[in-house]
Structure 1
Amino acid sequence: MARSSRAVVIGGGIGGLTAAATLHRGGWDVTVLERAPSLEPVGAAISLAPNSLRALDVIGLGDEIRDLAAWQSGGATARPSGVESEGGLRTPSGRWLARTDADVVAERFGGPLVMLHRSTLIGGLAGRLPPDAVRTGVAATVADPGDTARPARVRTADGDLEADLVVAADGIRSAVRRTLFPDHPGTVYSGFTTWRVVIPVPGVEFASHETWGPGRIWGSHPLKDGRIYAYAAALTPAGERAPDDEKAELLRRYGDWHDPIPAILAATRPEDVLRHDVHHIAEPLPAYHRGRVALVGDAAHAMPPTLGQGGNQAIEDAVVLGLRLALGSAPAGGTHLCDGLAAYSADRLPRTTAIARQAVRVGRLNMMTGRAGIAVRNAALTTLSKAAPLLFLRGFEGIADWRPPEPPYAAGKNPAGKR
């Protein structure tokens, strides 16, 4: 396989663009096909943990994203006004169940947790690609996955494209996943819906928090640009929508919860609110590849957002795939490419399956509805947070401390992601 080998990426979201950037850096000629008319993402903010930031170091983007953290190590004077390093879990009345300090988290896992708007991340990823690499307004699917002896074929309205490699990053409703694994049952409804907003709320200062109520949660987080990212989730039947508008629905469900939630809702317009039912893949796929096609992100392992790891795992997928298939890392030929894809599946399937299952368990915990169970849960959280605060972080061990499988990294400051 020559260095002009062609990779076609289906989907221009976070996973697809990360894969394209990593493959481009590894010597591939990359084309990204995005069905939307632009790369402007449909969504709000995203939380990037130290594991995905270390993955982004591989393409030289990690430090740029770390600099967008709403807090920086070194004391409160380094933070924007109103941004505290300490946050945690609260009840609807405002009582703290558990406190966590962002400085402690960064020390434990080797870097900060960064909240940023998805469009900022998309822009940074697209900037790692040649100007003509991304084609928007192009719907695509796989006509032939290929094998060791023949290339894959991608079908578009303008004709078929041959590719030595296809990366399917076409999301939770992935058509490519259905083509590769037609007998797989697909996604299931997670039992709850989500709302998200990113808005300015002048004069409001607060500690980053998530609040757990009966069958409902709310999260409020300051962004470095001065806006606030807020999200909510609640147990609802699939497909249910507000009879009036989604801001009114949020007011009904959360309007009497603690500050700053009423102020955030007051500043929210109905058109600011995004609502989506949550689906996940309950039965893992048998592999994340077939022939010359690899699945990344939600197409491979859609999970509930309860651990904040969906986008993070898509970034990990993309970087591991690119490293496994860097053109200079193995002899040329379809056999070696397919071997690299098999190694990618072996790397990623166990890890993402375990994280997805953990996300489902956490969803059951924070969406509890019974009074007795909630009382026991809240008491346990409070005791654990006070008696052994570091134990409270153990759920992220093996997740946030992950590192890419091999150097070199492109980050200019330091490869390990420690500042």
Structure 2
Amino acid sequence: MAQVLEKAVVIGGGIGGLTAAAALHRRGVKVTVLERAGSLEPAGAAISLAPNALRGLDVIGLGDGVRALAAWQGDGGLRAPGGRWLSRSSAAAATERFGGPLVLLHRATLIDRLAGLLPPDAVRTATAAHLIDPGDPGAPARPARVSTPDGELEADLVVAADGVHSAVRHLLFPDHPGAVYAGFTTWRTVIPLPGVRFASHETWGRGRLWGTHPLKEGRVYAYAAALAPAGQHAPDDERAELLRRYGDWHDPIPAVLAAVRPEDVLRHDVHHISEPLPAYHHGRVALVGDAAHAMPPTLGQGGNQAVEDAVTLAHHMGDLPAYTAARLPRTTAIARRAVRAARLSMMTHRAGTVVRDTAIAALSKAGPALLLRSFDDIAAWRPPAGDAVSFPAPFPAGEDRARAADDNRDRDRD
């Protein structure tokens, strides 16, 4: 039986936590967000949002604002380290097929807009939170309890959005093995790079990859990944490590590396949940985002799935078993696909990578739509019934549409 919710506590002020808070607030729930860090400012990197996540943001009134702020991804594709195109992608074809664009923006921008949907006193930073009691929605009902440095809070619902190494997850499911190292590390940077024109691309080598994507205002988002022992760091600095690994790869990679400063580079090992949880809830507590289903970034769906979680949770906020039923099968399937994509992109055997690249190139030439079709079930997601909104047209209208097309053509010059 669905429960009436009046108060919710969200542990974690990242994308999943803030989206959940905004969605619950929109449904009339009094929400308190507890963030351990001293501010909501995230690490300096960008995020790609696919049509599925944008539809989730539409539910809380943020979709159009994000589309306007973000860079719409233009034509691009997959390349080899020497520059050869293995496959080409059409932004127009993807937008038409999926009913919306793939966009990129800085994480800080998204966090700021999400926080702006909440009352000023809803977010408490520099506040460590610990789940004391998950509560019980049965009879007799018992609220969940969370401790903070300022005292305990009771809630009808606790949203655990405390990340890949979630303490709440461990408390709820102590026998679960938790997150494990995925076998590779990542580097990310956002830098200004005015005047450099290039097509969005991801480049696959042997046991390593690189991606470069234009953002608005002459900025660039670049990322890399490589097989490495867990906890390893460069002997000097991470920019030097990137130069060693990628300095002889195709343009615009050398230009990006020349513009980057050591302090601009973030490095993080990738951890994921290889064994799915039995449920995404227990008592009055629900897990969202990486706390529930951390996955490798190879499909670009980590943050997107957190947004889906958040709006689905708000829809089922009084019936957490329904939330688990809606989210666990989907996210488990996507996480497994992300693991398979990581294995493919991180292949090290020389002959195997030749076969891989040849197969991708052949598939791209024989049927470009086949590559798009593989993303259908991910991008086609829509919010639960009753939360659907009137989605915008795939392209901007009139003069804005022409300007967007011109911008894409300019960015896509090699």
TM-score interval, normalised by the smaller of the two chains: over 0.9
- Structure 2 counterpart of 1:168, from 160, 163, 167: 160
1:418 positional shift: 3.6
Q: TM-score, normalised by structure 1?
A: 0.91
Other-structure match for 1:36: 37
Of residues 341, 365, 370, the one that matches 2:344 is: 365
Residue matched to 2:271: 279
Q: Structure 1 residues 417, 314: closer, same or farther in 2, change over 3 A?
A: farther
Amino acid at match of 1:363: A
1:290 alignment counterpart: 282
Question: Whole-Å Cα distance in 2 between the matches of residues 343 and 416 of structure 1?
Answer: 29
Query: Corresponding residue for 1:108?
Result: 97
Q: Could you list the per-position Cα deviations for residues 111-166 of structure 1 after superposition, in whole angstroms to 9, with x for gaps in the alignment?
A: 00011000010011111111111011100021000002110000112221111110
In the alignment of these two chains, the number of paired residues is 391
Unmatched 5+ stretches in structure 2: 396-414
Distance 2:39 2:69 in 1: 24
Structure 1 SS opposite 2:164: coil
**Contact 2:80-2:86 at 8 Å conserved across structures:** yes
Correspondence for 1:182: 174
- Return the letter of the residue paired with 1:98: S
Residue in 1 aligned with 2:254?
262
Aligned counterparts, 1:330-345, within 5 A: 337=318, 340-345=319-324
Equivalent pair of 1:46/1:118 in contact (CA under 8 Å): yes
Secondary structure of 1:399's match?
helix
- 2:75 counterpart of 1:91: no
2:8 corresponds in structure 1 to: 7
Distance 1:342 1:292 in 2: 10
Corresponding residue SS for 2:69: coil
Aligned-partner residue type, residue 274 of structure 1? L
* Letter of the 1:46 counterpart: I
**Structure 2 matches for 1:187-226, cutoff 5 A?**
187-226=179-218
Residue among 381, 394, 411 paired with 2:360: 381
Q: What letter matches 2:134 in structure 1?
A: P
TM-score, normalisation: structure 2: 0.92
Distance in 2, matches of 1:352 and 1:389, equals 26
Question: Deviation of residue 350 (structure 1)?
Answer: 0.3
Alpha-carbon shift at residue 416 of structure 1 (Å): 6.1
Q: Which amino acid aligns with 1:300?
A: A
Q: Who is 2:391 aligned against?
A: 415
Identity %: 73
Aligned AA (2:375) = F
Alignment match, 1:246: 238
Q: Relative to 1, partners in 2 of residues 1:2 and 1:237: Cα closer, same or farther, differing over 3 Å?
A: closer
CA distance in 2, matches of 1:415, 1:203: 34
Q: Specify whether residues 2 and 359 from structure 1 end up closer, same or farther in structure 2 by C-alpha distance, changes over 3 A only.
A: closer
Superposition RMSD in Å? 1.4
Q: Deviations over 1:34-79 (max 9, x none)?
A: 01111101240000000000000000111111123424xxxxxxxx
Which residue in 2 is equivalent to 1:403? Answer: 382
Amino acid across the alignment from 2:274 = A
For 1:178, the aligned partner's letter is H
State the alpha-carbon separation in 1 of the partners of residues 142 and 177 from structure 2.
Answer: 29
Q: 1:348 aligns with which of 299, 305, 327?
A: 327
CA distance, structure 2, for counterparts of residue 63 and residue 70 of structure 1: 13
Determine the structure 1 residue equivalent to 2:412.
none
Is residue 184–residue 269 contact of structure 2 (8 Å, CA) maintained in 1?
yes
